[in-house]
Amino acid sequence: MAVKVLYVEDARTFQRLMQKMFEGLFDLSIASTRDEGWDLLCREAYSLVICDFMFAEGDAFPLIFKIRKQFSPTELPIIMLTSAADRMNVGKFYGCGVNTTVRKLPEAEKFRDLVFRMIRKPWVDKPEVTAGDAYLLSWTMADRGFAFCPNLRIQTEAATVGEALQQMHDELRKVLATGSPIPTIGSAKPSTFVPVPAEVAAVAQAAAAAEVAAVTEPAGG
C-alpha cells in the first residue's frame, strides 16, 4: 500500500512545489482549507500531515486540535511548514501537538529526509523556549488597557487590554528574535506578588483618590 501524506496549504505556488518535491515517492493529497483537510482525514488514512499555519479563514490551530483529539503525535505526526516559525510560535505549535516545525522554504533534500524519517519513526521536537516561559499580567485602568511582563520588566498600554497584549506579544518576539532567552523570575516557585512600575502605581493612586472624592463630595457641590 502506498504511503499517503496530506498537505494542507492554500498557496498554489507551494502546492506545486510540494508536488514536484515528492513526485513518485508517495501518494500526496492537497487540501486548500482547514475544513477540506479535515474532510480528507475523515475519509482516508494518512501517515503524515504537513500543514501551513495561516489560512484565509484563520490559523491552523482548530485543525490541529481536531487531529489531536483523535490521533496522538506518534499515530499521526504533524509537520508545521510555515514562514511564521519564530520561537514564540514554535512554542505554541509544540503546545498544541505539532511534532516539529520547519520554516518555508526548506531545502528539498533535507526536507524529504525529514519527512521519510518522521513517517518511519515519529518523534516530537521540544523547543528550547516554549510559549509559557513568559508571565503576563493585564488590567484595565482609567479606560485604558495595560499589560506587564515581570520577566522582562516590559509594560505596554493601549486603548484595550487585547491591544496591549498584542503589543506585548510583539515585544516578546523582538526579544526572542535576538536569540536571548526569557529570564526566569527569581525563585523556583514564583510569588504571586509582582512589583508594579512606579508610573503605573501613580496612575492607580490618582484614580483611587478621584473615586474617593466622588463618593465623599456632598451632593450638589
- Please tell me the total count of domains within the chain: 2
Which secondary structure element, helix H or strand E, spans residue 146, and what is its range? strand 144-149
pLDDT in tens, 53-75: 999 988 898 899 899 989 999 99
pTM greater than the 0.95 cutoff: no
Q: Tell me what pLDDT residue 195 has.
A: 46
User: How far apart are the C-alpha atoms of 22 and 180, rounded to whole Å?
Assistant: 37
In this structure, are 10 and 114 located in the same domain? yes
CB-CB contact of 91 with 84 (8 Å): no
User: 76 or 1: whose pLDDT is higher?
Assistant: 76
Is residue 129 one of the residues assigned to a domain? no
CATH, residue 162:
3.30.160
Is residue 125 one of the residues assigned to a domain? no
Is residue 167 one of the residues assigned to a domain? yes
In this structure, are 76 and 104 located in the same domain? yes
Distance between start and end Cα atoms, the chain? 86
pLDDT in tens, 87-137: 767 877 887 889 999 999 889 999 999 999 999 999 999 876 544 556 677
In this structure, are 171 and 210 located in the same domain? yes
Query: What average pLDDT does this structure show over 81-86?
Result: 84
Give me the domain span that covers residue 115.
4-120
Is residue 166 one of the residues assigned to a domain? yes
Q: Tell me what pLDDT residue 198 has.
A: 56
Q: Tell me what pLDDT residue 113 has.
A: 96
In this structure, are 113 and 138 located in the same domain? no
| Neighbour order of strands in the sheet with 137-141 | 137-141, 144-149, 154-158
CB-CB contact of 172 with 135 (8 Å): no
Q: Tell me what pLDDT residue 9 has.
A: 96
Q: Residue 203 corresponds to which cell in the numbers above? A: 496612575
Q: Give the contacts of 47 (CB within 8 A, at least 6 positions apart).
A: 3, 4, 5, 26, 76, 119
Q: Tell me what pLDDT residue 36 has.
A: 97
Q: 97, 120, 143 — which closes off a domain?
A: 120
Give the whole-number percent of the chain exceeding pLDDT 70.
76
Is residue 221 one of the residues assigned to a domain? no
In this structure, are 110 and 145 located in the same domain? no
CATH, residue 21:
3.40.50.2300
Is residue 128 one of the residues assigned to a domain? no
Mean pLDDT of the chain: 81
In this structure, are 116 and 144 located in the same domain? no
Q: 88, 120, 152 — which closes off a domain?
A: 120
> Does the CA dihedral 59-62-63-69 come out positive or negative?
positive
pLDDT in tens, 156-200: 999 998 888 888 888 877 877 776 666 655 433 333 334 445 555
In this structure, are 84 and 112 located in the same domain? yes
In this structure, are 151 and 107 located in the same domain? no
Q: 120, 149, 171 — which closes off a domain?
A: 120
pLDDT in tens, 18-43: 999 999 899 999 999 999 999 999 99
Q: Tell me what pLDDT residue 170 has.
A: 83
In this structure, are 184 and 94 located in the same domain? no
Length of the chain: 221
Q: Give the contacts of 204 (CB within 8 A, at least 6 positions apart).
A: 141, 196
- Asked, as a colleague might, if the bond just before 152 is cis with ω within 30 of 0, I would say no
Beta-carbon count within 10 A of 114 CB? 15
Q: Tell me what pLDDT residue 168 has.
A: 85
Query: What average pLDDT does this structure show over 139-161?
Result: 85
Is residue 126 one of the residues assigned to a domain? no
User: 216 or 103: whose pLDDT is higher?
Assistant: 103
In this structure, are 16 and 88 located in the same domain? yes
In this structure, are 62 and 148 located in the same domain? no
In this structure, are 21 and 72 located in the same domain? yes
Q: Tell me what pLDDT residue 179 has.
A: 67
